[in-house]
Every structure is written in structure tokens, then in C-alpha cells.
Structure 1
Amino acid sequence: MDPSIMLFLAQDGITNGAIYTILALALVMVFAVTRIIFIPQGEFLAWGALSMATVEAGHVPGTLWVLLLAGGLVFVLDLWSQRQRRDRRALLRSAGWNVAYPLVLAGLLSLLPLAALPQAVQALLVMLVVVPLGPMLYRLAFQPLAEASVLVLLIVAVSIHFLLVGVGLLIFGPEGSRTQPFSEAQLELGSLLVGGHTLVVMAASLLLIGGLYLFFGRSLYGKALRATAVNRNGARLMGISPALAGRLTFLLAALIGVMAGLMFAPLSTVYYDSGFLVGLKGFVAAIIGGLGSYPLAAGGALLVGLLESFSSFWASAFKDVLVFTLILPVLMARSILSHGVEDDE
């Protein structure tokens, strides 16, 4: 292997590792706040990528109809839960976010010339459609079981994953799609040619990580989520709503997943079920971090990206096997070094 090939593989590994990094950070964040191992994280990546491809083709994405249906179900559930207290303000707020917002967005998308819009506007529209599905998913599937054990929440997450994969096949079909890169520029660094989209991926990942750092360190809602992650019961006693914390966490996780999909789609063809494999690699990185350490998860994601890139050169047929094998020594080491604890502990 000559140095130019090594540099190219390292660039490819770091680019993919940047995407795995933000997925791993989302998984760690969701588990820390809600105790949910969020298996469907990859579906937001796939839905964001495929919705972007649909918008680029000038069509309304099928995820809009999922948003309308999910919003209606959330409003009915809120209406049922408020049947005794009849909190009109809460019901109006629910009707605005879950019914009026999807309807206004549907009208907007039907009127706009989607294919002629600038790429940044198309990406914004995709985020406006797909990201709200995060808190809706939490309200429908996880909030009623918020106090259940980690095992029960994991079983629900796996069930939701299979449901979303089926819905993805229904609305997107079995064909794969690839979107246009956000930049066609080329940067020469000696013998290495760096694509403009690669730089966009790096910049977006760094901005997202920096934004999450500022959000959790400086904002009131971020500090509330940190408090919930440290002690759920203590946060509840201090007036922090676990339901609000869960919905906000899933909103951030959906935003991260969609952004990862928008960055990943120009690099590889995305199918309706591609999110699981990509999300699983982010999960491997999160496991390396112990599902609790953001820096270790980020380091694990870069390690996964580099291992995948170099193994694709030496043994391309076994690159995924080698990546997932990475989790075995980590789990064995944690099993040997950790002490037995109860599930709630």
C-alpha cells in the first residue's frame, strides 16, 4: 500500500467516522436521559436521506403522510389523557404542534416547486418534515412505558425499528437513492484530493458537536436534560418533567439522525433499510464509550470508520464483520471489570 492510497483510505474513514460520531452521540444522549437503547436511530438517517432524494426529484416525500398520521394519533392520545383535567391550554398546544403544523407544512410542500429550490432550502424542508417525528414517536411508544425496565424499553425499541423499516418500504419502495453532494469543490493537499462534500461533513459534524456542547452546558433545557440523566427522580422533584425531557431528547436525536442522513446520502446509495446497518456502527461506537461517555463514543466512532475503510481495502467482503467484531473485546473487558448490579441501579 503506497502513501497516497493510505491517505485516501484515512480520509474516507474519517469522513464516515464523523457521521458515526454524531450517531453515537445521539445514542448516548438518548440512553443517558431516557434509559432507551434507541435502535431506530438509523431509520431517521435513512428517512432523511430518502426524503431529500424525493424532494430533489420534485415530489412530496412520503414521510409527510407519516407526519400527518403520527400527529393525529398523538393529538387523540393527548385528548384521551386530558379527558378528566381538560387542560385547554395543553390541548391547544397539542393541536397546534400535532395537527395544524403538519397540515400547514403539507400545504406549503404542495405549492412549492421543490425541484427548483436551492439545496439548502430542500434540506431545511426535509428536516421540518422528518425531525418532528422524533418527539411524536416518543409520545406514542415510549412515554407510556417511561418507568419500565431497560429490557422492556429495548424490546419496544426493536419493535419500533421493524415497524419503521416496513413503513419505509411502503413509502419509499425497494429502490435505492443517492442525493447530490452539498459541494462539488476539490481541494488538493499534496497527493491527496479532498472533496468538497467531505469538508462539509467535517464542518457539519464539528458544528453539531459544538452546538450540543453549548446546549448542554449553557442552556436551561440542556441543563435540565443533564439533571435528568444524572438522577431522574431528583430531577422530577425539582420540577423537571420527565415527559418533556424525553420528547426534547428524541427531537435532538431525530435532528442528528436526519442531518447524518443528509450528509451520508451523497457518499453512498441509501435504501429503506440502510439505516439499521449505519446506525449499528454508531451503536458499536456508543458501546465502546459505555453508553455514557461522549468523548469515548466519539473516539470509538472514528476507530470504527478507520477500521471499516482499511478493511474494505484488504478484505472488502468481511469489512462489516471486522467492524462488529470490534465490540466483542470491549464487552468482554467490561464484563470482567464490572461488578454485578440490579437493573434499576
Structure 2
Amino acid sequence: MDSSIALILLQDGLVNGAIYALLGMALVLVFAVTRVIFIPQGEFVTFGALTLAMLVDGKVPGTVYLLLLLGGLVFLQAFARAARSGQWRVLPRTALACIALPAVLFWVTRRLAGPDTSLWVDMLLTLLLIVPMGGMIHRIVYRPLAEASVLVLLITSVAVHFVLVGLGLVFFGAEGWRTPAFIDGQVDLGLTSWSAQSLFVIGTAVVLIAALWLFFGKTLYGRALRATAVNRRGARLVGISSDMSGGLTFTLAALLGAVSGILIAPVTTIYYDTGFLIGLKGFVGAIIGALASYPAAAAGAVLVGLLESFSSFWASAYKEVIVFTLIIPVLLWLSLRAGPAHDEE
């Protein structure tokens, strides 16, 4: 391997690592706030990438129907809860968010889906379709199980993963999709030239990570999520709604997943089940951060991206094995470093 090949592999590793860093931080966030190991995180990547690809191709993506379905289920759930408790005043707001908004997005998507629509408009529409699904999935699946054990939540996540993968096959088919690059051209960095697309991916990931840092440190909702992550019972005692925290957390996870899918769509061909493997690599980064530290998870995800890139050169047939084997020494070190574990409750 000469220096030029090493620099090319470094570029690929950093681009992939930036995507894995976003997913790893999303997994840490969801687990810290809700105790859910969110295996379907990769499906948001798939839905984001394939929704954008279908919009670019001039087709109406199946995610518009999924959003309508999820919104209808949330409304029915809220209606049943209001009928039991007699508190009907929250129902109009739920109807607006879960029925009216998906209907408007359905109409807008059908109007804008076409080859003449700008790529950036398609990207914005993709985010509008995917991001609300996070909060809806939380309300339908995880909110009724808020007090369940971590094992039950893990089994539930596996079930949600299989459901979303099956829906992905129905909506997008078995063929792969890819989108055109957002930015064309090369940028000369002295030692080597990087594609503008790669720099765009890395720059977007850095901006998102910085925005998350500002959100958690400077905003009221961000501090509420931090408080819930530190002590859920204490957060409830001071008036922080666990339902609000969970819904906001899953919405942020959907945002990070959808952005990751949009960023990776021009880089690699995406299939309906590709997100699972990408999400697992983000999970390896989250494990390096012990599912608690955002900087460690981001650094671990970049390490995963670099390890995958250089492994593809030295032993391409075993690159996945090498990447996932990284979990073993990390778990061993974490288990030796940790003391006796006690549940919060």
C-alpha cells in the first residue's frame, strides 16, 4: 500500500465514519433517555435514502402511505385513551398532528413528485416524511411499554425492525436505488484531492453534531432530555414529562437516521434491508461509548469507519467480521472496568 491508496482509504473511512457517528449518537440518545436499544435505527436510514431516490426518480414513495397509517394508529390510540379518561381536549391537537399533517404531506408529495423538482426540495420533503415517524412509533409501540424491562424493550425493538424491513420491501421493492451527488467536483487539499461530495457529507455530520451539542447545552428541551438521561425518576418528580422526553428523543433519532440516509444515498446503492447493517456499525460505535458517552460514541464510530475502509483493502472478504469483532475487546474492557450494576428503580 502506498500513500495515495492510504489517503483514498482514509477518505472513505472518514465519510463512512461520519455516517456511523450520527447513528451511534442517536442510539446513545435513545438508550440514555428511554432504555431502548433501538435496533430499527437503521430503517430510518433506508427509508430516508429510498424515499429521496424515488422522489428524484419522479415517483411517489411508499413512506407517504406509512406516515398516514402511523398517524391513523396514533389518533385511534389517543381516541381510546380519551374515551377511558374523559379528557377530550387533547384530541383536536392529536388530529392536527397525526391526521391533518400527514394528509397535507401526502398532497404536497403527489404534487411535487417529478423529475423537474429540485434535489434540495426532494431532500426537504424526505425529512418531512420521515422525521414525524419517530415520535409516532414511540407513541404506538414504546409509550405503552415505558415501565417494561430492558429485555422486553429489546425484544420489542427486534419486532419493530422486522415489521419495518417488511414494509420497506413492500414500498420500495427488492432492487437497489441510488441518488445523484449533491455536489460535483474535486477539492485539492494538497496531499490529495477529495471529492466535494465527501467533504459535504463530513461537513454536514460535523454541523449536526455541533447542533446537537448546542441543543443539549443551551435549550430547555435539551436540558430536560439530559436530566431524564441522568435520572428518569428525578426528572419526573421535577415535572419533566417522560412521554415528552421519549417522543422528542425518537423524533431526533428519526432525524439523524433520515439525514444519514440522505447523505449515504449518493455514495452507495441502498436496498430495502441495507439499513440494518449500517445501523449495526453505528451500534458498534455506541458500544465503544458504553451507550452513555456521545463523544466516545462518535469517536468509536469514526474508528469503525476507518477499520472497515482499511479492512476492505487488506481482507475485503472479512471486513464485516473484523468490524464486528471489535465489540469483543470493548465489551471485555467495559465489563472489567464496571462495578456492580444496579437498576435505577
User: In which range does the TM-score fall when normalised by the shorter chain?
Assistant: over 0.9
1:248 aligns with 2:253: no
Counterpart of 2:32 in structure 1: which amino acid? A
Counterpart of 2:152 in structure 1: which amino acid? V
1:302: how far off? 0.9
Cα distance in 1 for partners of 2:282, 2:246 equals 21
1:93 aligns with 2:81: no
Tell me if structure 2 keeps the 8 A contact 1:149–1:343: no
Counterpart of 1:333 in structure 2: which amino acid? W
TM-superposition CA deviations, 1:238-289 (whole Å, max 9, x none): 1111011100000000000000000011111000000000000000000000
Counterpart of 1:319 in structure 2: which amino acid? K
The number of residues matched between the two structures is 345
Counterpart of 1:314 in structure 2: which amino acid? W
1:100: how far off? 0.5
Counterpart of 1:77 in structure 2: which amino acid? Q
TM-superposition CA deviations, 1:223-248 (whole Å, max 9, x none): 11111111111111111110111000
1:129: how far off? 0.6
TM-superposition CA deviations, 1:31-67 (whole Å, max 9, x none): 1100101100000000100000000011111001000
Counterpart of 2:156 in structure 1: which amino acid? V
Matched with 1:338 is 338
Question: In structure 2, the residue corresponding to 1:131 is in which secondary structure?
Answer: helix
Counterpart of 1:193 in structure 2: which amino acid? S
Matched with 1:80 is 80
Counterpart of 1:25 in structure 2: which amino acid? M
1:87: how far off? 2.9
Matches within 5 A, 1:296-335: 296-335=296-335
Counterpart of 1:286 in structure 2: which amino acid? A
Cα distance in 2 for partners of 1:31, 1:191 equals 41
Tell me if structure 2 keeps the 8 A contact 1:216–1:223: yes
1:38 aligns with 2:45: no
Q: Extract unaligned runs of 5+ from structure 2.
A: none
Cα distance in 2 for partners of 1:95, 1:267 equals 38
1:95: how far off? 0.2
Matched with 1:208 is 208
1:132 aligns with 2:123: no
**Runs of 4+ in structure 1 over 6 Å off:** none
Cα distance in 1 for partners of 2:113, 2:84 equals 45
TM-superposition CA deviations, 1:58-111 (whole Å, max 9, x none): 111100100001100000000001113333331011000100001111111122
Matches within 5 A, 1:187-226: 187-226=187-226
Matched with 1:142 is 142
Tell me if structure 1 keeps the 8 A contact 2:236–2:242: yes
Cα distance in 1 for partners of 2:343, 2:100 equals 41
Counterpart of 2:288 in structure 1: which amino acid? I
Question: In structure 1, the residue corresponding to 2:270 is in which secondary structure?
Answer: coil
Matched with 1:4 is 4
Tell me if structure 2 keeps the 8 A contact 1:17–1:306: yes
Matches within 5 A, 1:28-67: 28-67=28-67
Cα distance in 2 for partners of 1:184, 1:28 equals 33
Cα distance in 1 for partners of 2:17, 2:183 equals 19
Matches within 5 A, 1:151-300: 151-300=151-300
Cα distance in 2 for partners of 1:240, 1:43 equals 29
Tell me if structure 1 keeps the 8 A contact 2:55–2:113: no
Give the TM-score of the pair, scaled to structure 1.
Answer: 0.98
1:113: how far off? 4.6
1:202: how far off? 1.1
Cα distance in 1 for partners of 2:15, 2:62 equals 29
Tell me if structure 1 keeps the 8 A contact 2:60–2:113: no
Tell me if structure 2 keeps the 8 A contact 1:150–1:343: no
Cα distance in 2 for partners of 1:248, 1:34 equals 11
